[in-house]
Structure 1
């Protein structure tokens, strides 16, 4: 049984049709967001020049050598895309071309019909299932695997491992996607267009960005709290395990930039009355970009432990105790030992904890006192149950998003 399945080749870029439509979608939303932030609200930005220098240095996808993960608290349904309105329009127009963020969006909110699915796919949103709302949720879902591959190198015109199957399968399913029913590039160089279903019973297929070399070492933003959390002291919930895959699994550890958001909760607070769908104006908004994390110092030991686990799992699958998992194998669906094994689970607890500490440093730089240590523990929130929304006993407000 050969785990090296020789599959369809990658391609360099999506078609001009898809690139143009996606760029126009992202630029238009960025312009609206910037207008709203600076014309109708009082917005201040901290650490932006340093962050822009980083983004500009990543403009040429052929020169990028590692991915980028930005991570922040989540206080409003408008956090994304609103916070990216702080980036100058000149960046969105020029340096942002094939250099904008990817983000995970709730499948049951953003992908409920064909129009929404196309809009959010063009806006570089990946369909993600939440365990509280879908049996297809969890860390092993195909979309998180897409995220891992986007943070890795992608080579055009070479055989590609299918990121949505498990190792050891002799045959793979060919996805027969078609536009406009499916959210794919109708003029792709590959036929059928690169796509994947977000779950086993998803009737719609979505663009597979990890099949395009222009998406090598991409930028992904994530809200690891997994839901909106509005509190008076700007404390955060615990960070969920999915973010650990983005740090541990790429071949090269991505750059990590922590961020902290304030004020968007006043624009769309969960206590707002009719008309709820209209954002409030005249609010004070702040977006703070922290410094790049020293990833070797913070995550190096965890990545080495993960590599040892992955190599051992790979060696077992090929019945060779000395086999080392090849770099091109990064970004496959997780096997059971890597998904549910005790050490793998421990790594996924520790990695988000360390990442949360980096975001807390940015929060502290904004003058907030240290929060209650219990705020970062999953056990603190067990009393809420998986589907709780609204006002909590501690005065905070929650919203699935």
Structure 2
């Protein structure tokens, strides 16, 4: 962790905390113990945390994290979130790139699909026990806070993150309300937030949602063919090399120790052996469960 990153996270976190305390009429935080408990859990070296929430303003992140404890989170980069940010909006120049990268934002190319490097990096962070926050709607949706408003369909990237981790991460649903009035859309002054608003931030219990998603993940994993069943003898793979051909939890073939025709044969056989439609179906089901978890929390969330 560089000193630049530590300073960026601390400055933004403390600035967000100052705004919540001085520029908002009230800030109600419910269920924060669910996140803090997950952050304190032993064994985080190989099991990450995902928070998923609605997205109601351009300042949801970082302002909501101003509600976190200073010593435990804001001044402790290990306990601060990683998140994904659009390349065409947040990484448009050298200064912005420096700022957001040091603020633990992963540059994401919209429309590049679920197998892009940004999602790979998010999976790697989760496998190291880090916390990743996701706005699965993929864009600001202030209509979701209005009467009869609904969440936009969640993007599949969050499903791939969950399916690709070594261990299913702790999944914490979140609901944010009130920040749509701080930065309403449209607004006359683009960069000027409105003060004196009431804010509510709710963290849901992760247990039921995590278990439900884990069941789907394990069902999908158990249905996939074992790489050992692939017929590689025609490629001349010796037993030691055969053992090196493994299927990682993201559904991709690790061919780092293979080369040439052996590598090509392994990939060809893998493509024939796996029903990718089943993977897509599992991803859709997982994302639907995540969306329902966030929507259900919204119904029971405390108003601002």
Please, which of 48, 51, 65 is the counterpart of residue 35 of structure 2? Answer: 51
Task: Assess, with a 3 A threshold, how the Cα gap between structure 1 residues 115 and 130 changes in structure 2: closer, same or farther.
Answer: same
Normalising by structure 2, what TM-score? 0.81
Q: Which residue of 1 aligns with 2:301?
A: 366
Is residue 354 of structure 1 aligned with residue 289 of structure 2? Answer: yes
- Deviation string 1:236-283 (CA, Å, 9 cap, x unpaired) is 11111111011111111100100000011111111211x221111111
Distance 1:55 1:263 in 2: 26
> How many residues are aligned here?
276
Distance 1:23 1:91 in 2: 14
Q: Which residue of 2 aligns with 1:306?
A: 220
Normalising by structure 1, what TM-score? 0.62
Task: Assess, with a 3 A threshold, how the Cα gap between structure 1 residues 281 and 296 changes in structure 2: closer, same or farther.
Answer: closer
1:259·1:290 contact (CA, 8 Å) conserved in 2? yes
Q: Which residue of 2 aligns with 1:70?
A: 51
How far does residue 310 in structure 1 lie from its aligned partner after superposition? 5.3
How far does residue 147 in structure 1 lie from its aligned partner after superposition? 1.2
Distance 2:151 2:228 in 1: 37
Instruction: Identify the structure with the greater helix proportion.
Output: 2
Q: Which residue of 1 aligns with 2:120?
A: 145
Task: Assess, with a 3 A threshold, how the Cα gap between structure 1 residues 314 and 268 changes in structure 2: closer, same or farther.
Answer: farther
Q: Which residue of 2 aligns with 1:122?
A: 102
> Unpaired runs of 5+ in structure 2?
254-266
How far does residue 311 in structure 1 lie from its aligned partner after superposition? 4.6
Distance 1:56 1:73 in 2: 25
1:79·1:264 contact (CA, 8 Å) conserved in 2? yes
Q: Which residue of 1 aligns with 2:139?
A: 227
- Deviation string 1:353-379 (CA, Å, 9 cap, x unpaired) is 0011111221121269xxxxxxxxxxx
CA RMSD across the alignment: 2.9
Q: How does 1:169-208 map to 2 (within 5 A)?
A: none
